Copies of this chain bind each other. A is one copy, B any other.
Amino acid sequence: MGIIVQKYGGTSVADALRVRNVAERILYTQNKGHQMVIVVSAPAGKTDELLALAKGVAKNPCAREVDMLLATGEQISIALLAMAIDDLGGKAISLTAAQVGIKTDGAFQKAKITEISSKRIKEELAKGQVVIVAGFQGVDEKNNITTLGRGGSDTSAVALAAALQADVCEIYTDVDGVYTADPRLVPNAKKHDEISYDEMLEMASLGAKVLHLRAVELAKKYNVPIRVRSSFNENPGTVVKGGENLEQGRIVVGVAHNNKISKVTIARVADKPGVAALIFTKLAAAEVNVDMIVQSASKEGLADISFTVSKDDALKAEEVATSMMGELSAGLVERDDNKAKISIVGTGMLTNPGVAAKMFESLAENGINIEMISTSDISISTVISCELVEKAVQTLHAVFGLDK
C-alpha cells in the first residue's frame, strides 16, 4: 500500500495525553500496511506565546528572527510525537523542514514552498519509520528558516503529499469534516462525504475555516485528494477532490458566512472617469485588501462608492478614504463595522439559472436587506447586517434543501 500523509493541528498535540492519542492513531493506520508521513503544528497556544516573547524584547521584531523563533514551536511538537510513538513500541523519526529539504522563497512569515526533496523521507520510510515533519516552516535558498503564515501546516501537508505522490492527505482538525453550513448556526447542517476542489476553494475563501485556502489550491494543482477528519473520533470525514458537482443533483453545496466585514462608503463623489481607479489604487498601495465594490447610480453628477474590507483593515481603509476627500470633492466618509457576508456555493449554479433570484427572494421574504452583491461562476455573495447572519444562513440552508 502507498503513502498516507496526515496533518495534526495544534489542539491535537496540546498536551501529553493528546500527543499519545495521536501516536496511537498513527500506529493503528501504519499497522494496516501504510507508509506514514505526519505533519504537525505547534502545540495550541505556543505560537502566540512565542510572539509575546518577541514583543517583549523588541517593539517591531524583525521578520527573519520571528521565523527563527516561531519555528521552534513545530520542532517541539515533532520531537514529542516521535518520542510518544517510540514509547508505544513504534519506530519514528522527526525532521525539521531544513532536514527534509522544504525549500521556500525568502518572504519571511508568508513564504511560499518552491521545492520539496523526497529523498530523506523516502529513506526513512524504507526503514519502516513513521516520518514526522515540522509543518509551517521551510528554508530559503540561503538556508534561513522561513514560515508559511497562519494555517501553513495544511499547506506543508498537501505539498508533501504532492511531492511523495501520496494516496491521500488527511487533515485532522477539531471538526468532523466539511458541512453545508457552520453547525453552530445551523443545527441540522449536513456533513459532505465529498466536495470538489473548486467548491472547497469558494467555501474557504468565503469564510468557512475548515481548510486553509492555499492548501486547497495546492491540492487542486497537484490533484492530491484531501480527507478532512476529526482527531477526536473515527468518523470518515469529508474528501476534497477533483471533479464538478460530485454529489449529483445538488446545485448548492454550502452556505458560508463571514461576520468580520466592514463597509466603507465615500459619499457624493464626482461621477467622472478615473475616480474609482484613483480610490482603489491608493487602497492597494496601503495594502488594504478590498473585497466587494458598489457604485450607486449617479444623481446630479454625484455618486456614492461603497466597498467592503476585512474588519482588521477597516481603520486603515477609512484613513485612506478620508485623506482623499479633498481630491475627490467627496461629501462624507462612513465606516460600518457591523457587516457580514453570506454566500452560497456550488458548481451546479453554472448550469442552473435562477439560483440568484431564489436567494435574493428568500432573503427579502425574511426581512433581510441586501446591501451589496457579488458573484463568481460558482458562488453568490451578499452583504447584510451582522445581527441577521444566523437567520440568513438558516433561511438559505433550508431554501436550497441542504438539510435533506
Contacts and interface: CB of A to CB of B under 8 A. Distances in A.
Question: How many of chain A's residues touch chain B, expressed as a range?
Answer: 35 or more
B58 A86 contact: yes
Given A71-B75, A72-B76, A79-B65, A16 B57 contact: yes
Interface of A: 15-16, 19-20, 23, 50, 53-54, 56-62, 64-66, 68-69, 71-72, 75-76, 78-84, 86-87, 93-94, 96, 98-99, 143-145
A142 to B, nearest CB: 9
A79 B50 CA distance: 10
B69 A79 contact: yes
A16 B72 contact: no
A93 B82 CA distance: 30
Nearest to A84: B57
Contact of A80 (B53, B76, B94): B53
A83 B93 CA distance: 32
Contacts of A76: 50, 53, 69, 72
B68 A94 contact: yes
Given A62-B82, A69-B80, A99-B143, A56 B16 contact: yes
Given A53-B76, A65-B86, A71-B75, 4 more contacts: A54-B79, A58-B84, A61-B86, A62-B82
Contact of A54 (B57, B62, B64, B80): B80
Nearest to A54: B83
Copy count, this protein chain: 2
A83 B65 contact: yes
B80 A57 contact: yes
Closest 9 A-B residue pairs measured CB to CB?
Answer: A16-B56, A58-B87, A69-B79, A72-B72, A68-B79, A58-B83, A57-B84, A61-B83, A65-B82
A23 B62 CA distance: 15
Nearest to A53: B80
B57 A83 contact: yes
A344 B335 CA distance: 79
24 contacts: A50-B76, A53-B76, A53-B80, A54-B79, A57-B81, A57-B84, A59-B87, A60-B87, A61-B86, A62-B82, A62-B83, A64-B82, A65-B79, A65-B82, A65-B83, A65-B86, A68-B78, A69-B79, A69-B80, A71-B75, A72-B75, A72-B76, A98-B98, A99-B143
Nearest to A55: B16
A84 B98 CA distance: 25
Contact of A66 (B50, B57, B75, B79): B79
Nearest to A92: B65
Nearest to A88: B58
A42 B86 CA distance: 26
Nearest to A72: B72
Contacts of A75: 68-69, 71-72, 75
A147 to B, nearest CB: 12
A83 B64 CA distance: 9
B62 A86 contact: yes
Nearest to A20: B57
A160 B77 CA distance: 30
A281 B87 CA distance: 32
A84 B58 CA distance: 5
A225 B143 CA distance: 32
A64 B87 contact: no
A61 to B, nearest CB: 4
A23 B79 CA distance: 31
